[in-house]
């Protein structure tokens, strides 16, 4: 997927940080009612979880595209442009279309005091209805039970990505509590697909599925013989979930051939996830790993050779655990503050990880951080947040 140019929507969307996170369905449900219930015009697949939601949505969308089903994909967050959040029939929404959709919802947003995520979700539902899509693939923003995407009331097939500890301040301090919030997307008669999960998570998913009369299906990672466009061992689990969703849709009457499924898996593109690129003649690896489970998955993909890291980590994330997981003996890391986001600094991380003090330094600007990666020897890697990749986008493109 080619990333579009950034688009300024500051006159239509207040900064996310101003309101903070306010989970709940009531505000958006009331606004959708006044908007004529646009979400009733199309069925949806919903994908929740901690890591891998976007990859699952992207691979499923590629399968549906190959099956010639007019599909919308609603994603969160974006890397560079708000337009990345909504794809219709294989094309990202244009800046003009997105502005118009948001303008149409300004009155409703003000009346019902919608959060920015609720506003863009409602506007996306209305745009999808007017675009006459046949099916929407919805990526949960945060949690599941109270996420804005759960206001869509025709979600008969669901996906569960890998669940781990993240956003504990909103979802709970245990795997079981977080899993319970994610399983809040379950509904009577739905089919839910999940790959392997930690025991505490699997137990909660089984209990919640039984309580909701949801059919929970477990899938194993795809074998190495299955061609995948997305790199990384963990993508084989994400691909298995996407494939399980496609097969469940086929059971429900959607015309998705095995050939379309295979083509989607082998052609899906998803930037910022174990992505290789070249900058000033040097190969650089990018991955958005923003929590300890994602950091562990990234570390397991790398050889033992030394690495030079450029890391940007939001302050509310488990920064010390992420850095401890990523850094090996002989590695060096430069820490970059994320614009408009409270971030971990090198001093913060050294205080938390004194035994890593010789490996951690502060980068005072994006360009300084990138130039540190160019020094010969160790392989350069950029990680810690998708917002970091977005920040570096203008240099790396």
Distance CA 215, CA 202 (A): 14
Residue 134: Cβ-neighbour burial (10 angstroms; 0-12, 13-18, 19+): middle
pLDDT at 77: 85
Q: How far apart are CA 360 and CA 381, in angstroms?
A: 14
- What CA–CA distances, in Å, run from 102 to 9, 43, 60, 225? 9, 22, 27, 44
Mean pLDDT of 75-90: 91
Share above pLDDT 70 across residues of the chain, in percent, rounded to a whole number: 97
Q: Which of 14-18, 283-287, 297-301 has the lowest mean pLDDT?
A: 14-18
User: Residue 60's pLDDT is what?
Assistant: 98
Check residue 206 and give its pLDDT: 98
Distance CA 32, CA 108 (A): 9
Domains of the chain with CATH codes:
16-267 (3.40.1190.10), 275-396 (3.90.190.20)
The lowest-confidence range among 44-48, 123-127, 390-394 is 390-394
> Both tokens of residue 185?
């997307």
Among 42-51, 98-107, 130-139, 334-343, the range scoring the smallest mean pLDDT is 334-343
Lowest-pLDDT choice from 127-131, 210-214, 272-276, 352-356? 272-276
Q: Within 10 A of 226 (CB to CB), how many other CB atoms are there?
A: 14
Please say whether the dihedral angle defined by the alpha carbons of residues 303, 236, 79 and 145, taken in this order, is positive or negative: negative
Interval 191-200 mean pLDDT? 97
- Phi, psi (degrees; rounded to nearest 5) at 286: -115, 135
Average pLDDT value for the chain: 92
Task: Please report the pLDDT score of residue 290 as a whole number.
Answer: 85
Contact partners, residue 387, CB within 8 Å, separation at least 6: 77, 312, 314, 338, 341
- Cα(first)–Cα(last) distance of the chain, in Å? 13
At 20 the pLDDT is 65
Q: For the chain, how many helices (H) and strands (E)?
A: 16, 14
Kindly state the DSSP code that residue 271 receives in the 8-state scheme: T
Q: Which residue has the higher pLDDT, 134 or 15?
A: 134
- What is the rounded average pLDDT of the residues 116-127? 97
Contact between residue 317 and residue 290 where contact means Cβ atoms under 8 Å apart: yes
pLDDT of 310 above 90: yes
Three-state DSSP state, 129: helix
- Binned at pLDDT 50, 70 and 90, residue 168 comes out as low
List Cβ neighbours of 371 (8 Å cut-off, separation of 6 or more). Answer: none
* Tokens coding 212: 């909701």
For the full predicted model, state whether its pTM sits above 0.85: yes
DSSP 3-state of 219? coil
Judge whether 218 and 240 are in contact, CB under 8 Å: no
Q: In what order do the strands lie in the sheet with 44-48?
A: 91-92, 86-88, 71-74, 135-139, 44-48, 157-160, 191-194, 215-218
DSSP helix/strand/coil, 192: strand
- Work out the pLDDT band at 387, boundaries 50, 70, 90: confident
pLDDT value of residue 3:
66
Q: Is residue 166 scored above 80 in pLDDT?
A: no
Per-residue b or e along 58-91, where b marks 16 or more CB atoms closer than 10 Å to that residue's CB: bbbbbbbbbbebbbbbbbbbbbbbbbbbbbbbee
> What is the β-pairing status of strands 191-194 and 71-74?
unpaired
For residues 284-309, average pLDDT: 88
Q: What is the distance between the alpha carbons of residues 312 and 319, in angstroms, rounded to a whole number?
A: 9
Residue 262: which pLDDT band, with cuts at 50, 70 and 90?
A: very high
Nearest-Å Rg of the Cα atoms of the chain is 21
Work out the pLDDT band at 80, boundaries 50, 70, 90.
confident
Which among 146, 155, 144, 169 has a CA at the least distance from the CA of 49? 144
Strand partners, 135: 71
**pLDDT given at position 17:** 64
């Amino acid at each position: 997927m080619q990333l579009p140019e950034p688009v300024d929507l500051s006159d239509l969307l207040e900064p996310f940080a101003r309101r903070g996170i306010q989970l709940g369905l009531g505000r958006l449900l009331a606004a959708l009612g006044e908007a004529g219930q646009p979400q009733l015009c199309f069925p949806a697949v919903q994908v929740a979880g901690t890591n891998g939601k976007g990859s699952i949505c992207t691979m499923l969308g590629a399968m549906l595209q190959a099956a010639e089903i007019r599909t919308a994909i609603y994603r969160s967050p974006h890397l560079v442009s708000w337009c990345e959040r909504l794809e219709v029939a294989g094309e990202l929404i244009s800046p003009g279309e997105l502005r118009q959709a948001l303008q149409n919802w300004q009155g409703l947003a003000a009346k019902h005091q919608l959060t920015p995520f609720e506003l863009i979700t409602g506007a996306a539902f209305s745009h999808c209805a007017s675009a006459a899509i046949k099916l929407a693939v919805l990526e949960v923003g945060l949690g599941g039970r109270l996420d804005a995407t759960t206001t869509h009331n025709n979600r008969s097939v669901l996906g569960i990505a890998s669940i781990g500890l993240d956003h504990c301040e909103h979802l709970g301090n245990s795997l079981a509590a977080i899993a319970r919030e994610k399983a809040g997307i379950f509904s009577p008669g739905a089919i839910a697909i999940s790959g392997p999960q930690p025991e505490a998570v699997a137990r909660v998913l089984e209990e919640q599925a039984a309580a909701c009369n949801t059919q929970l299906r477990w899938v194993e990672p795809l074998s190495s013989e299955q061609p995948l466009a997305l790199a990384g061992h963990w993508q084989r689990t994400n691909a298995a979930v996407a494939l399980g969703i496609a097969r469940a849709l086929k059971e429900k009457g959607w015309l998705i051939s095995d050939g379309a499924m295979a083509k989607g898996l082998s052609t899906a593109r998803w930037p910022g996830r174990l992505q290789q690129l070249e900058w000033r003649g040097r190969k650089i690896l990018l991955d958005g790993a923003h929590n300890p489970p994602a950091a562990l998955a990234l570390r397991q993909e790398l050889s033992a050779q030394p690495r030079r890291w450029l890391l940007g980590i939001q302050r509310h994330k488990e920064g010390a655990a992420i850095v401890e997981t990523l850094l090996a003996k002989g590695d060096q890391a430069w820490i970059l503050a994320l614009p408009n986001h409270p971030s971990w600094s090198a001093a913060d991380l050294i205080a938390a990880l004194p035994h890593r003090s010789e490996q951690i330094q502060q980068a005072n600007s994006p360009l300084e951080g990138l130039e540190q990666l160019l020094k010969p020897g160790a392989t350069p890697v950029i990680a810690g947040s998708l917002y970091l990749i977005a920040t570096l986008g203008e240099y790396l493109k």
